[in-house]
Amino acid sequence: MNSNRVIMAASGGAAALISAVLGVYAYSVWLEDDELVQNLEASKAAAQRAVSGRVSPEKASIDAIKANTASLRDWIDESLAFVSRGDANFSSPVSPERFKQIMLEDAREIAKIPGSAAGSIVRAGFGFGLGEYISGSAMPDARTLSDLRRKWYDIKTIVNILASSSVQEITDISVEEQRRTEPEKKDKRASTQRSSARRRPSDRRKNGWMAHASAKTYNVKFLAKPSALVKVCNSIALSPRFMTVDSYSFAKERDTLAEKLSPAPVRSGRPGRQLPSVAHEKPEEEKGLVTDPSLEPPFTVSARLTVYDFGTAPAGQLDVKEEECE
């Protein structure tokens, strides 16, 4: 009987101990879950405050942004001052009659530059791309006089570059007019209506530092020796007037060296029949061939040049007056 009581008491104590241990474990698990939930709620509240609250950057970041903005503005100003140093500012008014007289006087002065066209760099009656005014009887229109003055200033700049580079003759100059066809206008209007976001950067450029920038393209053909080709490219790169070479090609009309090396065809007695030529061996001392570069025919060069005017030159800088045009 006593043994049964001992066993029952031991079993009850073990059950109580196990219950106590399980209770303590369950309580600890409940505490950990509650702490995790609280941490999660705190993180969620902090994230919501960060998203909905005001962002306050540090003073160092603000100062760095201001410094970078000032540096960028200075770089833009310096770059524009450099590329626009050749801009033409026509501050002096001139009448259409007087400007045509200036153009004719300039054309006569250019014709005095030595070259291979009967002793001149241009042939007689050369129109410089503006033949209706130079060699024709057309009178400049007062409404388009400023554009004509710009073209003539660009053409004179190009001619001076070619003349200083020792080209033999300027054979052709033409102004490439920028004309937009009707379909292109319609496409542009449709594109403008479809996307206003794409229009904003362009508007900012037009209203900002590129508001007065313009470009005109000229096609030039001339005759020059190989050494003059290099001089032309260098002179364009060093010119105060900002211009780019869009295309540049050259070719020889004939190869005198190949003509000397090619044997003359031998004709037979029968008309219309030609026998293959036979190369006659020359003595060893006569096989050498000496050529003179100065006697070689010049290259025919075609160039497409775009001249830019940024309209940002300070007042009085490179101011083109009537006396300078003369």
How far apart CA 199 and CA 284 sit, in angstroms, is: 75
Residue 79 three-state SS: helix
How far apart CA 266 and CA 8 sit, in angstroms, is: 140
**Over 80: is that where the pLDDT of 154 sits?**
yes
Q: Contact at 8 Å (CB) between 304 and 245?
A: yes
**Residue owning tokens 């006087």:** 105
> Where does residue 118 rank: exposed (0-12), middle (13-18), buried (19+ CB within 10 A)?
exposed
Residue 283 three-state SS: coil
57: left (phi over 0), alpha (psi -120 to 50) or beta: beta
> In this predicted structure, what is the pLDDT of residue 305?
95
Q: Give per-residue pLDDT as tens, 4-13.
A: 666 666 666 6
Q: How far is CA 320 from CA 38, 94, 242, 317, in A?
A: 79, 11, 16, 9
> In this predicted structure, what is the pLDDT of residue 87?
86
Global pTM exceeds 0.85 = no
**Over 70: is that where the pLDDT of 148 sits?**
yes
> In this predicted structure, what is the pLDDT of residue 57?
74
How far apart CA 225 and CA 202 sit, in angstroms, is: 44
Residue 185: partners with Cβ closer than 8 Å, 6 or more residues away: none
Q: Give per-residue pLDDT as tens, 34-47.
A: 677 677 787 777 77
* Both tokens assigned to 293: 């570069």
Side chain identity, residue 5: R
**Number of other residues whose CB lies within 10 A of the CB of residue 307:** 23
> In this predicted structure, what is the pLDDT of residue 246?
93
Domains of the chain (ranges; CATH) run 83-192+208-261+295-325 (3.30.70.60)
Q: Contact at 8 Å (CB) between 259 and 307?
A: no
Q: Give per-residue pLDDT as tens, 73-117.
A: 898 888 888 888 888 777 788 899 999 999 999 999 999 999 988
Compare 15 and 244 and report the one with higher pLDDT: 244
> In this predicted structure, what is the pLDDT of residue 86?
85
Lowest-confidence range among 203-217, 241-255, 306-320?
306-320
Q: Which helix (H) or strand (E) holds 171?
A: strand 169-176
How far apart CA 221 and CA 248 sit, in angstroms, is: 10
**Residue owning tokens 């309209």:** 311
Closest by CA position to 100, among listed 64, 63, 135: 135
How far apart CA 27 and CA 291 sit, in angstroms, is: 109
Residue 262 three-state SS: coil
**Over 60: is that where the pLDDT of 130 sits?**
yes
Going by their DSSP bridges, the two strands 274-275 and 266-267 should be labelled as antiparallel
How far apart CA 53 and CA 46 sit, in angstroms, is: 10
**Over 90: is that where the pLDDT of 218 sits?**
yes
Q: Contact at 8 Å (CB) between 128 and 155?
A: yes
Residue 308's DSSP bridge partners are: 215
